[in-house]
Structure 1
Amino acid sequence: MSNREKRGKVWLAVSGLVKSSEGHWLVVKKRYGGLKGQWSLPAGFVEEGETADEAVIREVKEETGIDCTVKGLIGLRTGVIKEEISDNMILFLLEPIKEGKIIHQEHELYEARFMAPEELLLEKDASILLHYLITENVSLIKPGIDGINPGDQFGYTAYKLFL
């Protein structure tokens, strides 16, 4: 069964805006998909048994080798593909734990690097979402709240709020 079949018709993806201490953004250039050859944020799908914020940390690490912490929730991108597939992506703000060397995932990415947002705006190959994030100057970030139990009857093994 392919990943596409496994996901069914409702997709949940995550994307991470990783900002360096100088304010540069971690961007990747994908080898496949709708963003092939374009600069975009590291992203991927939430897997079974993980929360969305755990998924974004894993995806950024897999794609770039950079360990991060989640600073909060930026927002949601949601759409429908060909009137059939519900395509949803949660965007998080992340911070590198230590700014080490980028080791990009060779088979998925052409390149990964930190770039200044002003420089990204001038890139013809920057994704529409990147342009929006830069020009809209997103400042309202929802921090994560952990350690809440909504009730034992639900059986949650992980439960977090971003409010």
Structure 2
Amino acid sequence: MKNERGKVWLGAGAVVVNSDGKWLVVKKKYSGLKGVWSIPAGFVQYGETADEAALREVREETGIHCIVTGMVGFRTGVIRGEVSDNMAIFACRPINENQPIRIQEKELYDAKWLSVNELLTCGEASVMLQEMASDSLIRHQLSKNDGINPGDWFQYTSYRVFFNK
């Protein structure tokens, strides 16, 4: 699968926050995030927008259905001087807060709701998750704007803009 991505990767992740202010976090079984709390995330697939990919990843990894409320940020880096690794990070909220978590056992050790304080003091949160939790970036999110058409010439089948109001 990595060969299909080439040398420019686009991932999408979600900071899902419930009405109690707890964040939905996962512990992956692979990569540099193995065994630490991180956000549900994965690669954008052909034919989907980054925000759609974030919702799909949350659903696949945890069984939780969400809606996007905004954009938290964009992480970008270069791996070994050759692979451009990028991730759009969206703010989300669960549609049904009583829905039980169902982890994707092939990829995850665990998934649960944790408070910001628990994330900051557990000693098991990823660096990016610690940074987001410590600054409460969720409050500084960019707003989602649907219904914008940049022109029929482009032939977009899906189009959204996230910007600071």
TM range (shorter): over 0.9
Q: Which residue of 2 aligns with 1:131?
A: 130
Shift of 1:44: 0.4
- TM-score by length of structure 2 reads 0.96
Shift of 1:88: 0.2
Q: Which residue of 1 aligns with 2:148?
A: 148
User: How do 1:12-161 and structure 2 match up within 5 A?
Assistant: 12-99=10-97, 100-138=99-137, 139-161=139-161
Shift of 1:120: 1.1
Cα distance in structure 2, aligned partners of 1:91 and 1:155: 25
Q: Report the residue type matching 2:28 in the other structure.
A: K
Structure 2 segments unaligned to the other structure (5+ residues):
none
For the residue of structure 1 that corresponds to 2:123, the secondary structure is: coil
Shift of 1:95: 0.1
Shift of 1:146: 1.2
Cα distance in structure 1, aligned partners of 2:8 and 2:155: 23
Cα distance in structure 2, aligned partners of 1:159 and 1:77: 21
Q: Report the residue type matching 2:103 in the other structure.
A: H
Root-mean-square deviation (CA, aligned residues, Å) is: 0.7
Residues 42-68 of structure 1: per-residue CA shift (max 9 Å, x gap): 000100000111110100000000000
Q: 1:10 aligns with which of 5, 8, 15?
A: 8
Cα distance in structure 2, aligned partners of 1:96 and 1:126: 21
- TM-score by length of structure 1 reads 0.97
Runs of 4+ aligned residues of structure 1 deviating over 6 Å after TM superposition are none
Shift of 1:137: 1.7
Q: Which sits farther off after the overlay, 60-69 or 138-147? A: 138-147
Q: How many matched pairs?
A: 161
Q: Report the residue type matching 1:8 in the other structure.
A: G
Shift of 1:154: 1.1
